[in-house]
Amino acid sequence: MRREYLTTPMFGKPIKILLLGGGELGKEVAIEAQRLGVEVVVVDRYDWAPAMHVAHRRYVIDMLNRNAVKAVVERESPDAVIPEIEAISYEALEELEARGYFVVPNAKAVRIAMNRVELRKFAAEVLGLPTTKYAFAENPDEAVEACEKVGYPCLIKPEMSSSGHGHVKVLEPRASSVKEAYSYAVAHARGKSRRVIVEEFVNLETEFTVLTYRHVGDSNNVVTDTCEPVEHWRYGKYHYIESWQPSKRPGEVLEKAREIGIRIAEGLGGLGIFGVEVFLTRDGRVLFSEVAPRPHDTGMVTMASQELSEFAIHVRAVLGLPVPKPRVLTPAASLAIYTDNDGVWAPRIGGVYEALKISGVDIRVFGKPFTYRDRRMAVVLARGSTVEEALEKARRAASYIVVE
């Protein structure tokens, strides 16, 4: 429904959102909601997660525990329950939705998107979207069969995991290495499932995140649209490093990527933003990879580039406010800052004077209370007159930054 008014937090009958997961993406969602006078409740598994610093109230629970999730939502009775990570009891979300709570974008979308097998079936077999070649397996012998079917090299991924956990590349048709890879994948899965997806390993030309959003239109219809695709690239050991906007890839490639975004978001339904991950392969295929029904880490660049960031879009869409298609106002780039240090409490972020001396450069420090190896602690944002200039500034700024 269209929302015609906003409210006052903490008093009267405020509009209230509850975030399940309060990481750096949740923090920006919370800030955008605060700007609109929305009451913000943040839930995470540890205290003083980034978004808790900008929330009205916070709770620390095990989010995989169905009763714990239900209890906190029922106690707060929010207007929207906004999942920020995948590791949440979806049974709780389904039950809450059945009882009338608004789960963003909807409980089924959350369930499908967190499960690689279900998501691939949905995208490739129900929607007919182009994807990498794939097969599923539930035991070592089936894994061998699946690899044979898909061909080599291939990737084995557990059905549930995030940030690349449990992904193994299989280079050659040797049953023993496939079985070993299978065991590794299931051992690193979230939950007890033994199912995996085997995917053709493609040579990537580049990767996009198509931020696609569904919001309430003028006549209470739901409108689906996309932002300009965000292009991104990974270097070295880290999982995600640089992203930028606008992409200069050929128009027809970007158009295909956008279409994939629209079809997946329309297929999953509900309201809010979706980070739709799309591959451009060296042999020119534009393939759907996966989707996060929420803001995406590669989309942080939109805080520098767009009229409305992905976080502002998400909050507006969830609340029933309009989202006119956000223009890219300037070329921009973002670069994530990781740490190598394990277990440092209250880390210091050094080098910021030199970094922030560069015009057009900004930093977001997430405020995570402790480090672990390869944890993302901050992001550098840079604007330039070209994408190249923005990337150069972001890299230069990031080279000064040390987490200690």
Ligand X SMILES: Nc1ncnc2c1ncn2[C@@H]1O[C@H](COP(=O)(O)OP(=O)(O)OP(=O)(O)O)[C@@H](O)[C@H]1O
* H-only helix segments in 43-131: 66-76, 90-98, 107-113, 116-120
Which residues from 249-268 bind ligand X, rule CB under 6 A? Answer: none
Q: Give, in order, the Cα–Cα distances in Å from 290 to each of 68, 121, 287, 358.
A: 28, 11, 10, 35
Q: Is 392 one of the binding residues for ligand X (CB under 6 A)? A: no
Q: Any known ligand binding at 142?
A: no
| Burial of residue 47, with CB atoms counted within 10 A of its CB: 0-12 exposed, 13-18 middle, 19 or more buried | exposed
Dihedral sign for Cα atoms in the order 25, 7, 35, 312:
positive
CB-wise, 161 or 339, nearer to ligand X?
161
Task: Give catalytic residue positions.
Answer: 162, 164, 277, 290, 297-298, 376
What does the block give as tokens for 55? 């929330």
Backbone angles phi, psi at 203, to 5 degrees: -85, 120
Q: Is 171 one of the binding residues for ligand X (CB under 6 A)? A: no
The single residue among 59, 208, 240, 338 that binds ligand X, judged by CB under 6 A, is 240
CB-wise, 17 or 114, nearer to Mg ion?
114
Residue 75: how many CA atoms within 13 Å on its side-chain side?
A: 12
Which residues from 276-335 bind Mg ion, rule CB under 5 A? Answer: 277
The single residue among 67, 162, 385, 386 that binds ligand X, judged by CB under 6 A, is 162
CA-wise closest residue to 398 among 335, 331, 304: 335
Q: Any known ligand binding at 392?
A: no
The single residue among 163, 385, 386, 399 that binds ligand X, judged by CB under 6 A, is 163
CA-wise closest residue to 363 among 300, 306, 294: 300
Which residues from 184-213 bind ligand X, rule CB under 6 A? Answer: 199-202, 204, 207
Q: Is 228 one of the binding residues for ligand X (CB under 6 A)? A: no
> Which range, of 97-105, 220-228, 270-278, 389-397, touches Mg ion by CB under 5 A?
270-278
The single residue among 3, 121, 194, 234 that binds ligand X, judged by CB under 6 A, is 234
Q: Is 28 one of the binding residues for ligand X (CB under 6 A)? A: no
The partner in contact with residue 303, picked from ligand X, Mg ion, none with C-beta cut-offs of 5 to 8 angstroms by kind, is: none
- Judge whether 293 and 214 are in contact, CB under 8 Å: no
- Where do we find the tokens 């996009």? 208
The minimum distance between CB 99 and ligand X, in angstroms, equals: 30
CA-wise closest residue to 195 among 154, 160, 147: 160
Q: Any known ligand binding at 297?
A: yes
> Residue 36 carries which DSSP code?
T
The partner in contact with residue 231, picked from Mg ion, ligand X, none with C-beta cut-offs of 5 to 8 angstroms by kind, is: none
Number of residue whose CB is nearest ligand X: 199
Q: Is 277 one of the binding residues for ligand X (CB under 6 A)? A: yes
CB-wise, 163 or 385, nearer to ligand X?
163
CB-wise, 99 or 282, nearer to ligand X?
282
Backbone angles phi, psi at 191, to 5 degrees: 90, -175
Q: Give, in order, the Cα–Cα distances in Å from 256 to each of 261, 288, 291.
A: 9, 10, 16
Q: Which residues sit in the known binding site?
A: 24-25, 84, 116, 157, 199-202, 207, 277, 290, 297, 368, 375-376
Binding site for Mg ion (CB under 5 A): 277
Binding site for ligand X (CB under 6 A): 132, 155, 161-164, 199-202, 204, 207, 234, 239-240, 277, 289-290
